[in-house]
Structure 1
Amino acid sequence: MMKATIPLCLLMATLHLATHSLTQTDHHNDEHKATDPQEQHPHEGDPLESCQRIVPSNTEFAFRFYRQATTQEPGKNIFFSPVSISTAFALLALGSRATSQAQVLEGLAFNLTNTREEEIHNGFRHLLLFLNRPGSQVQLSMGNTLFMDKHLKPLNTFLKDIKKLYKGKVVSSNFQNSTEAKKEINDHIRNKTHGNINQILKDLDPNTLMVIVNYIYFKAYWENPFNIKGTHKDYFHVNMKNSVEVKMMTRDGFYKTYSDRKLSCKVVQIPYKGDVAALFILPNERKMKQLEDALTKDIVSRWEKSLQRRRIELYIPKLSISSTYDLKKLFMNLGVTDVFSDRADLSGITGKPDVKVSKAAHKALLEVHENGTEAAAVTGTDFLPHSVPPVVKFNRPFLLLIVDQYTQSILFMGKIVNPTEK
């Protein structure tokens, strides 16, 4: 028997660090009456602890995914939101059963012998509460929407669970009219990412019965903006032979940095306003591969512990890059095969086992600007004129991690090989 297909469009990492003013905040006032995770269910134990049961696996998954992406597109920019992809696939696991479910959770780096499925879903529930926390200076919102053919009848328990655990909502769609359904899904994403991501869905198979959409929207400002007057043309060395011209931002100031001698790289932490920081990691010439192979959650925590505040002269290129991934291909390489095949068991969604996932996509966008004002940066000149700080210049391929400091979650991860690549 042929299985109907579910394109699983996991979407939307928009990372937007822009200069323009915040005209609307990203928190819907009505939903946040009980958002202090402490208030939710006092009997469920500590929300942060619950959250921290899943964060190590999410971090491990980020590096697994990164390696797959590098293998598929060597020499290309990479940028994605691991936390967004993990959340969407964990939601898929909620509706999966048997081997299908075990493969998805193991693909997300969970060890099912020492973690119960219930703990995983509860961890994501608390993680979403923390990440969507209102009142932070960072605009960060993340959520999930299921578009379901109006003839599919989802189970009530599933509807209740995705709402409670994944801030998810289900929209009944008419997939018989695929043009209209495609427009509805693309409009939803455009709306949730404030117009930054327009067309995630290029085409929609007429046999589609369900589309799962995950979006993440992030917008933050540097704690210490770069002076726009200091931005100048400079060269970025894509590789030994080729250079491109970039707009290089610069700032002389105090940053937490670390030189990792073992991995031949420099790490600079650049904080945003709010509880989020970017880790910029610059490998020495020809050391990128060594760094990529060594990446683990322990390395990153070693960096975080070793950071020390010191004055440096920092150079970072202005950036605007986006990446799109076929998650089906990537996840199949990670051993998650059943949900995409006729062996799929997604009976947790509709009670019937005759659906499979046909499509899974993820698109992420990164912009890095000065986001400061010309006048405000004058205070940066109060250093002694005769002291010269060490220069750290990101003018060759580097890695980037954007980390929520509160939960230690990697919101975004990337490799910048060519800042001018469109």
Structure 2
Amino acid sequence: MKMKSPLYLCLVLVGLQVHGQQRSVTGQQQEKRIIHFLGDHSQDEGENLAHIKIASSNTDFAFRLYKQVREEAGNENIFFSPLSISTAFAMLSLGARSSTLSQLHEGLAFNLTEVEEQEIHEGFQRVLQLLNDSHQEVQLSMGNALFIDDQMKLLQKFLDDVTNFYYSEAISTSFKNSTKATEEINKYIETKTHGKIVDFLRELGESTVMVLVNYIFFKGYWEKPFSNLATRNDDFFLDAKNSVKVEMMHQSKAFNVYRDDKLSCWIVEIPYKGNVAALFVLPDEGTMKQVEDALLKETVSNWMQSLKLREIYLDLPKFSISGSYDVKSLFEKMGITEVFSDQADLSGVAEKRLLKVTKATHKAMVDVSENGTEAAAVTVVEIMLMSSMFETPRPHIKFNRPFLMMIMNKDTHSILFMGKIVNPAAKGD
């Protein structure tokens, strides 16, 4: 039987519109520039550690954003890509100035006394190079595009920087024909997400002159696939009184596991082929908020360092969920307000234009199933610690109540995706 593969994808749309008094604009059409991901991967890893310098800030931002999303999500599933959102706004910051720029840096958790502005963009440049490496075992791509009104001329430095650091495509578009521009952007998104996100952008504002798109697409296989023959119907407890039926996958193998007694939760790392892994966090009943409140880079670092390979009985539900978020609203509640206001200073973007961000939206999807191939070879890892595996009873870790999930890319030290699965039977929007 052919097994489904996991699928993760997401994107950010940022719309820029003119505000205030519009000054005279040249009618010169912006040349369409398509920049491919041709980063030099031949460099020795030790010579280019720019991505390490921004990893800490990106992790801080991820957990800050998660806690803001949690406040609005209530008792619903959460799934988003913090890296996609931070990349989009870091790219936009290339055109920000004065307090708009400093507020973006602060909101994205960058401290310029610890990392220089140039290093921020060099860090994202390296992240993009690593994530788009065609030699990796997972299918993973991340990219950016600027759809620019054909009556607007970008400043050459901004255009050079977004293409050099963020490998962004710059695509000339006539926003006067709003319907056609919307179709063009949606077609781009559909293509880059392999047909998984269709007609995402509903309409464009009348004054829109630029749309920034960031996407991530990920498809991978577990190192240790679940057998679909072991999948069975089981109960998933939404709370103390309510449950839903789910398809529960099962494995009895060796995984990296840690029991955090202080926070009352189990942590299980499930690796994909390649250098990507999923970190599943199962709080004890009634301790979800306690675990969520403790989500800090120090906490996760402690978990990762404490993981030990041991045999477990593992039950994990199949699920397919999605989430859509108003990033503008989330950012404003996090104190990032100026870039969305009439006080925005994006004077580094274009000539003779007063710009602000009017809309920023984000959508992410995840599909988790048995997904694997019979060719998986993981015997060495399983055998290495066999001698100590039988010294303690094998724990049964059953994800049959709300849990957290993070998808980690070890090459870039990045959290690609994170979420909370409250109800795996709910499909989302």
Give per-residue Cα distances to partners, 1:362-401, cap 9 Å, x unaligned. 1000010101358989x9xx999xx973210000000001
Task: Give the equivalent residue in structure 2 for 1:185.
Answer: 185
**What is the CA distance between 1:239 and its match in structure 2?**
1.2
Asked if structure 1 preserves the Cα contact closer than 8 Å seen for 2:317 and 2:399, the reply is yes
Partners in 1 of 2:367 and 2:133 — Cα distance?
23
Asked if structure 1 preserves the Cα contact closer than 8 Å seen for 2:37 and 2:132, the reply is no
> Secondary structure of the equivalent of 2:96?
coil
Task: Give the equivalent residue in structure 2 for 1:47.
Answer: 48
Asked if structure 2 preserves the Cα contact closer than 8 Å seen for 1:61 and 1:108, the reply is yes
Asked if structure 2 preserves the Cα contact closer than 8 Å seen for 1:228 and 1:372, the reply is no
Task: Give the equivalent residue in structure 2 for 1:282.
Answer: 282
**What is the CA distance between 1:132 and its match in structure 2?**
1.2
**What is the CA distance between 1:35 and its match in structure 2?**
3.0
Q: Indicate yes or no: 2:86 matched with 1:82.
A: no
> Secondary structure of the equivalent of 1:286?
coil
Asked if structure 2 preserves the Cα contact closer than 8 Å seen for 1:344 and 1:353, the reply is no
CA gap of 1:199–1:75, structure 2 versus 1, over 3 A, is same
Partners in 1 of 2:55 and 2:293 — Cα distance?
21
> Secondary structure of the equivalent of 1:99?
helix
Task: Give the equivalent residue in structure 2 for 1:395.
Answer: 400
**What is the CA distance between 1:199 and its match in structure 2?**
2.4
Task: Give the equivalent residue in structure 2 for 1:18.
Answer: none
CA gap of 1:87–1:373, structure 2 versus 1, over 3 A, is closer
Task: Give the equivalent residue in structure 1 for 2:21.
Answer: none
**What is the CA distance between 1:200 and its match in structure 2?**
2.0
**What is the CA distance between 1:37 and its match in structure 2?**
5.8
Task: Give the equivalent residue in structure 2 for 1:257.
Answer: 257
Letter in 1 for 2:286: R
Q: Structure 2: give runs of 5+ residues left out of the alignment.
A: 1-11, 16-34
> Secondary structure of the equivalent of 2:164?
helix
**What is the CA distance between 1:353 and its match in structure 2?**
5.0
More displaced stretch, 411-420 vs 199-208? 199-208
Residues matched between the structures, number = 389
Letter in 2 for 1:140: L
Q: Indicate yes or no: 2:416 matched with 1:415.
A: no
More displaced stretch, 391-400 vs 110-119? 110-119
Letter in 2 for 1:405: K
CA gap of 1:33–1:176, structure 2 versus 1, over 3 A, is closer
**What is the CA distance between 1:329 and its match in structure 2?**
0.3
**What is the CA distance between 1:113 and its match in structure 2?**
2.9
Partners in 2 of 1:337 and 1:119 — Cα distance?
24
Task: Give the equivalent residue in structure 1 for 2:176.
Answer: 176
Partners in 1 of 2:139 and 2:364 — Cα distance?
16
Partners in 2 of 1:233 and 1:10 — Cα distance?
42
Q: How does 1:179-218 map to 2 (within 5 A)?
A: 179-218=179-218
Asked if structure 2 preserves the Cα contact closer than 8 Å seen for 1:320 and 1:365, the reply is yes
**What is the CA distance between 1:10 and its match in structure 2?**
5.2
More displaced stretch, 127-136 vs 367-376? 367-376
Q: Indicate yes or no: 2:241 matched with 1:245.
A: no
Asked if structure 2 preserves the Cα contact closer than 8 Å seen for 1:186 and 1:199, the reply is yes
Letter in 1 for 2:99: T
Asked if structure 2 preserves the Cα contact closer than 8 Å seen for 1:154 and 1:350, the reply is yes
> Secondary structure of the equivalent of 2:417?
strand
**What is the CA distance between 1:46 and its match in structure 2?**
2.7
Asked if structure 2 preserves the Cα contact closer than 8 Å seen for 1:228 and 1:373, the reply is no
Letter in 1 for 2:424: P
After TM superposition, the score normalised by the length of structure 2 is 0.86
> Secondary structure of the equivalent of 2:226?
coil
Task: Give the equivalent residue in structure 2 for 1:336.
Answer: 336
CA gap of 1:31–1:97, structure 2 versus 1, over 3 A, is same
Give per-residue Cα distances to partners, 1:128-186, cap 9 Å, x unaligned. 11111121001111011011111110011111111110011111111111111111111
> Secondary structure of the equivalent of 2:348?
helix
> Secondary structure of the equivalent of 1:410?
strand
CA gap of 1:47–1:374, structure 2 versus 1, over 3 A, is closer
**What is the CA distance between 1:87 and its match in structure 2?**
0.4
Partners in 1 of 2:106 and 2:400 — Cα distance?
38
CA gap of 1:33–1:117, structure 2 versus 1, over 3 A, is closer
Partners in 2 of 1:96 and 1:375 — Cα distance?
49
Q: How does 1:76-225 map to 2 (within 5 A)?
A: 76-225=76-225
> Secondary structure of the equivalent of 1:221?
coil
Give per-residue Cα distances to partners, 1:229-271, cap 9 Å, x unaligned. 0000001011112101100000110001000000000000000
Letter in 1 for 2:328: K
Partners in 2 of 1:311 and 1:92 — Cα distance?
46
Give per-residue Cα distances to partners, 1:212-242, cap 9 Å, x unaligned. 0000001110001000000000010111121
Percentage identity across aligned positions? 52
Asked if structure 1 preserves the Cα contact closer than 8 Å seen for 2:221 and 2:373, the reply is no
> Secondary structure of the equivalent of 1:350?
coil
More displaced stretch, 110-119 vs 277-286? 110-119
